[in-house]
Amino acid sequence: MQAAHNTSMSTPTATTSPPTVLLTGFDPFGGDSLNPSWLAVETLQGRRIAGHKVVAAQLPTVFGSSLVELARLLREHRPTLVICVGQAGGRAAISLERIAINVNDARIADNAAAQPVDTPVVAGGPAAYFTTLPIKAMLLALQGEGIPAEVSQTAGTFVCNHVFYGLMHHLSTRRGFKRTRGGFVHVPWLPEQGQPSMTTDELVRGLRLLIATALATPEDIAQGAGAIS
Ligand code: PCA
């Protein structure tokens, strides 16, 4: 019998930090006093999931500066996985966003009183980017645990889509991010904000499962989830 050749045994671990998952939420906007995306995300700060360390950070609900802050976080943490999370009032399930589009079109002002209409997120950038998260595997994982979930074909045209597009543009064009996967997830209101809603506990459970599933699924599965129209 041959002895197993295990190179990881001889790799020094004292100075190497675990790979990082960057998880972001937003501050409250549009007159709300809380944002479930941040309340759920912040509970996961510093948690270990599948050998990765979670870094939780809040982004401002502001066109432009949200992306400046996201770029800083990406430079600082060099994550292997990025999931940006935002509130989508009126939705009844955790929405796994498929596509980010190159347009800002705000119906309300952002938290810095800006309200861009029909401007590009990135001038000259491609019309859209697809998520690089395994959203079908994530959908099945959530549904398997009885957590309401759906694939969404639009993240809107406000700050969430802006951040989603900016994230995907950064990952696909900047050096050093070729192997970083990322995407966007919308969450419903909390019960105190209105209906339909999900509780913070359920959102946290869902986010943990999304991270674990993404880390365990290098290639997404083929599973139909599209609407018939
Ligand atoms: N939701 C908004 C921006 C911040 C948030 O949590 C959106 O869906 O664009």
% pLDDT > 70, the chain: 93
Amino acid at 3: A
Ligand 1 neighbour 184 (Cβ under 6 A): no
Is 8's pLDDT higher than 80?
no
Predicted pLDDT at 226: 84
Residue 84: active-site member: no
Is 11's pLDDT higher than 70?
no
CA–centroid distance, residue 26 to ligand 1 (Å): 7
Predicted pLDDT at 9: 46
CA–centroid distance, residue 31 to ligand 1 (Å): 12
Average pLDDT, the chain: 94
- Choose among 214, 167, 205, 166: nearest CA to 187: 205
Instruction: For CA atoms 185, 191, 197, 203, give the dihedral sign.
Output: positive
* CA-nearest residue, atom 9 of ligand 1: 160
The DSSP symbol for 227 reads P
Predicted pLDDT at 16: 77
CA–centroid distance, residue 55 to ligand 1 (Å): 20
- For the chain, list the domains and their CATH numbers: 20-228 (3.40.630.20)
**Given the structure tokens 């998952």, which residue do they identify?**
21
Ligand 1 neighbour 185 (Cβ under 6 A): no
Residue 97: active-site member: yes
Is 200's pLDDT higher than 80?
yes
The tens digit of pLDDT for each residue in 31-55 reads 999 999 999 999 999 999 999 999 9
Residue 186: active-site member: yes
pTM of the model: 0.93
Ligand 1 neighbour 159 (Cβ under 6 A): yes
Cα(45)–Cα(56) distance, rounded to whole angstroms? 5
**pLDDT bracket for residue 223 (50, 70, 90):** confident
The tens digit of pLDDT for each residue in 150-197 reads 999 999 999 999 999 999 999 999 999 999 999 999 999 999 999 999
The tens digit of pLDDT for each residue in 66-96 reads 999 999 999 999 999 999 999 999 999 999 9
Type and span of the H or E element at 26: strand 20-26
